[in-house]
């Protein structure tokens, strides 16, 4: 658990942790009182040595505590030109955290920090050039910013270079170069890079498809808390890809994601409860998990939620809600949802009867490979 890892750090090692915000927030979620302890430790460090580095650390923790003292301290440090203070102040303006949101001011802070060699600021500017956030899109300028930060061994910059060289719209797209950046970023501790390597070997993107090697990367990323990776490990165990088929292991990894409300894991775990595979069959539990996944905009979950509403499984039968769920799934390209909508329009269940529209939906479903749709069309012809 990251909480215990942070607790074990010496004061000097702890000073660098404000860059690892996800790790810090996970620790605070695990033990909310821990933030107070961290602020106390930071104040003690400032009293012992009132260096810019220690003051920046204290201001960062106070801001995480929603204490405006932190923003005042950070602003005063930024005015002295302290590069980490400038970067963190830029983050506050970008996110509207204890200050009014101001993208232009955020970029000014990042640019000042970048001029002093701050790698995270260089990376932020690179991201702005990549996606057009506050700047006109310019992928070559993005590469320049990322490369300058990557030359300092910064893992986020290395990962960002990998992403950029993977983009189809980049005229210099180079999958092999992207993978080399992901590999270097992974060596520097980038969880996202580990997950990207797992994805590359899963689909054979720039490398021969290799489920076993993909699983190795996903396992490493999962151990570091990556939910996408945990979900993929669950899928590999459920389907026996690169590893022996083991539904109990699949449940274990799906639960990791489900506990964090990660929609794909909620969906897969919900189906296992619905079918009673490796867990005791529980339709109410399945309904609850699938509803959460649907609420997080996961179309397949919306489809299965529609089935449960239609059949009254795990919840009270409700054809109007079933219609709504199928419509959401259909709008996201789920072919079987087209079929179910067609049936509801055909019978006027959960909506007004509309036979022509029902036939159109059934034909669309048939064209997308839903065999039952073709059979139903024959019956009503």
Task: Read off the pLDDT of residues 278-323 as tens digits, 9 standing for 90 and up.
Answer: 999 999 999 999 999 999 999 999 999 999 999 999 999 999 999 9
Question: Both tokens of residue 342?
Answer: 């067609």
> What does pLDDT average to over the chain?
92
CA atoms within 13 A on the CB side of 40: 5
Please report how the helices 371-380 and 355-367 are oriented relative to each other, as an axis angle in degrees rounded to 10.
140
pLDDT recorded at residue 35? 80
What per-residue string of b and e applies to 76-110 under the rule 16 or more CB within 10 Å gives b?
ebbeeebbbbbbbbbbbbbeeebbeebeebbbbbb
Tally of residues, the chain: 381
Locate all alpha helices (DSSP H) within 119-278, ordered by sequence. Answer: 119-131, 139-150, 155-164, 175-187, 191-203, 211-223, 227-239, 247-259, 263-275
Domains and CATH numbers, the chain: 1-115 (1.25.40), 117-189 (1.25.40.10), 334-381 (no CATH)
Helix axes 155-164 and 191-203, enclosed angle (nearest 10): 30
Give me the residues of the chain with pLDDT under 70, please.
1-30
Whole-number pLDDT of residue 21: 57
| pLDDT tens, position by position, 157-185 | 999 999 999 999 999 999 999 999 999 99
Give me 262's structure tokens. Answer: 């990660």
How far apart CA 39 and CA 48 sit, in angstroms, is 14
């Amino acid at each position: 658990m990251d909480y215990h890892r942070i607790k074990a750090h010496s004061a000097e090692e702890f000073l660098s942790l404000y860059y690892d915000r996800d790790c810090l927030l996970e620790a605070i979620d695990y033990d909310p009182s821990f933030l107070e302890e961290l602020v106390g430790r930071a104040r003690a460090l400032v009293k012992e040595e009132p260096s810019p580095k220690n003051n920046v650390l204290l201001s960062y923790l106070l801001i995480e505590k929603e204490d405006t003292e932190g923003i005042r301290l950070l602003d005063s440090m930024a005015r002295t030109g302290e590069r980490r203070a400038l970067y963190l102040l830029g983050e506050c303006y970008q996110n509207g955290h204890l200050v009014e949101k101001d993208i232009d001011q955020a970029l000014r802070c990042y640019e000042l920090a970048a001029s002093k060699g701050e790698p995270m600021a260089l990376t932020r500017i690179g991201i702005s050039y990549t996606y057009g956030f506050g700047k006109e899109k310019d992928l070559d300028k993005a590469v320049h910013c990322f490369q300058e930060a990557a030359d300092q061994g910064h893992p986020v910059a290395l990962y960002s270079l990998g992403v950029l060289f993977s983009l189809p719209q980049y005229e210099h797209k180079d999958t092999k170069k992207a993978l080399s950046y992901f590999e270097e970023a992974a060596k520097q501790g980038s969880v996202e890079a580990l997950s990207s390597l797992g994805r590359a070997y899963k689909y054979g993107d720039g490398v021969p498809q290799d489920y076993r090697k993909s699983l190795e990367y996903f396992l490493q990323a999962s151990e570091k808390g990556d939910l996408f990776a945990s979900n993929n490990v669950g899928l590999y165990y459920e389907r026996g890809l690169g590893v022996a088929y083991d539904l109990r292991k699949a449940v274990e990894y799906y639960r990791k994601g489900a506990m964090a409300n990660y929609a794909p894991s909620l969906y897969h775990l919900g189906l296992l409860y619905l079918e009673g595979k490796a867990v005791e069959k529980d339709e109410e539990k399945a309904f609850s998990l699938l509803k959460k996944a649907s609420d997080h905009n996961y179309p397949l979950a919306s489809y299965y939620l529609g089935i449960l509403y239609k059949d009254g499984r795990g919840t009270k039968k409700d054809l109007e809600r079933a219609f709504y769920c199928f419509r959401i799934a259909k709008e996201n390209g789920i072919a079987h949802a087209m079929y179910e909508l067609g049936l509801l329009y055909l019978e006027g269940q959960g909506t007004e009867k509309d036979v022509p529209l029902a036939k159109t939906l059934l034909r669309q479903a048939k064209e997308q490979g839903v065999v039952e749709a073709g059979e139903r069309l024959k019956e009503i012809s």
